[in-house]
Structure 1
Amino acid sequence: MSRCSTHTKPDEAMKTVFLLSFFLGWSQCLLAQKDKLWRSDVRQELANYDQVITFHDKKKRFATVKIIDKAGVLRNEANFKDEMKHGYEQFFYPDGGLYWKSDYRDNVQNGIFMVYYPDGSLKRKEKYRNGFRKEGYCYDSLGNTTAYYPFKTQPEFKDGLYSLQRYFRDKWPSSLRGNLAGWTFLEMNLIIGTDSLARVGSLKAEDFEHRKALASAVKTMPKWTPGTFDGQVSETNYRVSLVLTPEGLYLTELMNSRRGIAPPNSPNGSNRHYSPR
């Protein structure tokens, strides 16, 4: 009685491997071509730089944004998912050398953050988890460890947020107080200069009187402690969000922390870095 063999002959085995490799490569090629058809670039030429947005899918959920200066040098490259930073971001020196690189997950730093000197030597290394720094080291140009300092700091109003809220309350015109049927949201972007003075970058309010009151309050605002960037005092944008209620004027972040909930119909606070549609 003959015994059946389950072993494949060498030439048949090679043929099977070849066919599998061929079909695998062919399918990958088709997928790559399909993905390529979905990709699209949008280029915006602005006054000081050009912005190139590359979408990686039909629904435009995933994108890479590049900032290119007028000399043609890539200065910034970041990846996004649903208009939030997701993946790596890189910033470059004017000569094209890498300045810093960081990883993000859903708009929050998550992973390794590296900063380099112009000659390419390591200046800083930090490790983040869900937006919180777990480790941080700074180095001089020779590679020696130096005292740690934050890469970026926000401007600070004298005595903190409650003092800033009190300042706006004191400056708010009596004609705009009381007799309120609901809540009114006021937003502005302040520019805190290296001279510690605050200037209005933009205002968002329902009517002219509210905008006038906000601008007037900024004009007489006391000096701030300016923000820093990579150890140097830097002009910094600072967002102020206020809500006018029948009970008074509040910074929304203080109201949220006090009540534990967001105000009704509050504006969406997510940062949009590009306009995908």
Structure 2
Amino acid sequence: MPVIGQLLTGYCAKNRQIDLFMNAVYKLLLGLLFCLPVQAQPDLAKNSQTVRRTFAEYDEEILYFGKRNQYFTVRTLLKNGSLFRQDSYQLLPQTLPNGFRLDSLSRIFRYGPTKIMYLTGKPYITCEYKDDILHGPFMVFYEDGSIKRKEYYRNGRITQSSCFTVDGVKEACTPFYQSAQFLGKPNDLSAYMKQKLGPLVDGERIRRVTATLAINEIGQVTGIGVLLNTNVSENTKMPEAVSYVQQVIRNMPEWTPEKLNWKPAFNDGKATASTCVLTVFRVYGSLQYSMFYRL
């Protein structure tokens, strides 16, 4: 974010911890996956279908319902007791009717209403999910309660969209979330990565290199995480390989002179931090390259 820092600067300046938390939550506005945080300390307050969890900056209430508790709602509460967000999920069985077994994350789908609030307690976003994708109305509000964006989704696709200024005047809509963008030519980047990493990814010692780039709000790469798919016997050489991959990315030329290589992601019209995942791998001996973005 700091999307929340720009939306609610005054409040968050008074409480940096809440600012950091809100920052993280807003980066997950559309929530791609859900995972209960492992650092939570349960306060042991359980009432058959309700679990309460206590964190340093906020609390959670998880309410299970349905004949087999296959649905649950997660309410995120600030320390003053006010609701910050509410999310709805469906819990699939461990084994599907076709015999396929699901892991713990794959079992959890967004299903039902989601609501995110301003610190004032007024709604910021309300939307509906079905089978883990947007389905139904998607509404965004200004802090005074007036409508900023009114859209309708069907199976993840927008069918209607209207946007409004603070004064209620209708205006052209831009996508609510726009991913980061590489500002050079994709073919040039692909050729560079293959040239520099091709000898490393030989398909035997190292089968795949995945680099995760942290891109900040102005398009700078602020961190590079590297994951190698390797032959176990080569693990002792991995630190050198990781450092080499990081160096290759840091030394990437400016594809447009005097300009950063990346355009930052935008969320609700505000620049936000995001990540780009670059992968170089071999398939039947042929060197391949892929790139995708995520929050």
Q: TM-score range by the shorter chain?
A: 0.5 to 0.7
Are positions 1:190 and 2:229 aligned together?
no
- Tell me which amino acid in the other structure corresponds to 2:143: P
Q: What is the TM-score when the length of structure 1 is the normalising length?
A: 0.66
Offset, 1:57? 5.4
Q: How far apart in 1 are the matches of 2:242 and 2:228?
A: 6
Q: What is the TM-score when the length of structure 2 is the normalising length?
A: 0.62
| Paired residues for 1:140-155 under 5 Å | 140-155=165-180
Q: In structure 2, what is the equivalent of residue 111 of structure 1?
A: 136
Unaligned 5+ segments in structure 2 are 1-45, 91-106, 230-237, 255-260
The one of 138, 144, 149 aligned to 2:163: 138
- Tell me which amino acid in the other structure corresponds to 1:151: F
The one of 254, 265, 271 aligned to 1:227: 265
Sequence identity percentage: 25
| Paired residues for 1:15-54 under 5 Å | 39-45=49-55, 47-54=56-63
Contact 1:49 / 1:70 at 8 angstroms: preserved in 2?
A: yes
Q: How far apart in 2 are the matches of 1:70 and 1:201?
A: 34
| Paired residues for 1:1-277 under 5 Å | 39-45=49-55, 47-56=56-65, 61-81=70-90, 82-159=107-184, 162-172=187-197, 174=199, 176-178=200-202, 180-181=203-204, 184-200=207-223, 202-206=225-229, 207-221=238-252, 222=254, 223-245=261-283, 246-251=285-290
Distance 1:252 1:196, change over 3 A: closer
Contact 1:191 / 1:201 at 8 angstroms: preserved in 2?
A: yes
Q: In structure 2, what is the equivalent of residue 258 of structure 1?
A: none
Offset, 1:166? 3.2
Offset, 1:106? 1.5
Q: Which has the higher helix share?
A: 1
Q: How far apart in 2 are the matches of 1:141 and 1:107?
A: 31
Deviation readout 1:75-105 (Å, 9 max, x if unpaired): 2211111312111111111122100111111
Unaligned 5+ segments in structure 1 are 1-35, 254-270, 272-277
Name the count of aligned residue pairs. Answer: 217
Q: How far apart in 2 are the matches of 1:41 and 1:100?
A: 25
- Tell me which amino acid in the other structure corresponds to 2:50: S
Contact 1:39 / 1:57 at 8 angstroms: preserved in 2?
A: no
Q: How far apart in 2 are the matches of 1:226 and 1:78?
A: 27
Distance 1:37 1:239, change over 3 A: same
Contact 2:50 / 2:64 at 8 angstroms: preserved in 1?
A: yes
- Report 1 or 2 for greater relative contact order, CA contacts < 8 Å, sequence distance ≥ 6: 2
Deviation readout 1:12-32 (Å, 9 max, x if unpaired): xxxxxxxxxxxxxxxxxxxxx
**Local SS of the residue matching 1:205:** strand
